[in-house]
Structure 1
């Protein structure tokens, strides 16, 4: 896939991994809609990107991905602004075992809804131009984690949904490649939650499990994961793939 002049939409893009994914697309001369629930941070990121890449390259939209109406408007605004949608990166995610219903809503339910909205705009068999969807899963999609069972469940769900929808796209000739990006620990705000009792709740006593995994796999910088994301988007041979990336082992694809 040629990224120059393509249109991408990245959720949770005001900081951390989402910001890295958006910037990776901008470096390839794509246009990007950056979406985040935090208007203040989003405006700062938009201003930063304007200075580096030009104001016409990005649009910021405030959106709570757990609101179906806001999510639908996000896609409509994207297509209205740029005339099409080529790339969706579902990055918005949280880790909160105390408010586990919200964790499921953000990490899994909203992601599924965003995929279905993208299909409406992108499916070749229904007048779209096709494209690429990357769903951000996690190394937790393959591991057990006593300190974060609900977060782990959502990431297992993201991987299963991604692989199944990718198969549907292939069988239905949607023209959309759908892949899962499964990074290990990344130097973002979510990493800080692994040592907070108010986040882990009753599972705080198992926090040392997270520290064990960190020691084993290391911590990635967002820009490194951003480069891996670009590989998933550009490689037209990948559909239903699960790309794992860790500091200690680099990029590996899971063999199912």
Structure 2
């Protein structure tokens, strides 16, 4: 998929991975709708980014993971080609909120956007990228086998249904972001594991945003990638491949 002229929706684009992905899409000629939610600082950064790259989108200051937001995007740009489910937090203290955003937001966004991307109902098809983490690939790391049922099942269902929508997951290790910097203060009842977590960080290393975005670009542009999870670590990239063919 060439990015020039495509319309992308990116959740959690105020900072970190989401912002870097949004910048990459814009630099490659895509039209990008950003999610605008959290702190005032985040709002300022997104608005500044929008103003620089795409002034007209400033009026669309509504939560992206809603039917109204997707409908507004379609009305403005004629369709949606890419959804990046990136919004996420880490907080063991407010775990219900964490699950609601990290898992619920991802599922909700995917279900809603399918209505607009589905080729059977007039959509243009496209690709959904879920930004996950290496934590979801631990079975792959330890057993050397692919295991990502959410992406695999959705990708297979999309192929079997003829929707024309690819679905992949980007699973980076530790990334130098604000979220990464605040891990220790958000462990809650698991604060005793801070030392073990630090050992893992020292063992695996920390990714730059550029390394993560490189993996995203591969997943979004390579149309042979469907139902796959790309594990990105400082020294290597690994695919946990699942064939999305309905005949398998």
TM over 0.5: yes
CA apart distance, 1:143: 2.6
Displacement of 1:129 = 0.8
Deviations 1:96-151 (A, max 9, x none): 1111111110010111010001110001122211001001110000238xxxxxxx
1:176 pairs with one of 156, 162, 165: 165
Normalised by the size of structure 1, how large is the TM-score?
A: 0.85
Partners of 2:134 and 2:171 within 8 A in 1: yes
Name 1:188's counterpart in structure 2.
177
In the alignment, structure 1 segments of 5+ residues that lack a partner are: 66-70, 145-157
**Structural RMSD (CA):** 2.1
Q: CA deviation at 1:49?
A: 4.6
Scaled by the length of structure 2, the TM-score of the pair is 0.87
Q: Which shows bigger deviation, 83-92 or 38-47?
A: 38-47
Q: Paired residues, what number?
A: 234
Say which of 98, 103, 111 aligns to 2:98. 103
Unaligned runs of 5+ in 2: 140-146, 243-248
Question: Residue 63 of structure 1 corresponds to which residue in structure 2?
Answer: 63
CA contact (8 A) 1:31 1:58 kept: no
Is the CA contact (8 Å cut-off) linking 1:26 and 1:57 kept in structure 2?
no
Q: Distance in 1 between matches of 2:57 and 2:64?
A: 22
Write the distance in 2 (CA, Å) between the matches of 1:207 and 1:224: 25
Of 69, 72, 78, the match for 2:73: 78
Match of 2:218 among 220, 231, 254: 231
1:47 aligns with 2:42: no
Q: Deviation digits for residues 157-192 of structure 1, max 9, x if unmatched?
A: x94212210110111111000000000011112112
Are the equivalent residues in 2 in contact too, given 1:122–1:176 (CA < 8 A)?
A: yes
Q: CA 1:36 to 1:160, structure 2 compared with 1: closer, same or farther past 3 Å?
A: farther
Match of 1:19 in 2: 19
- 1:38–1:62 CA contact under 8 A, matched in 2: no
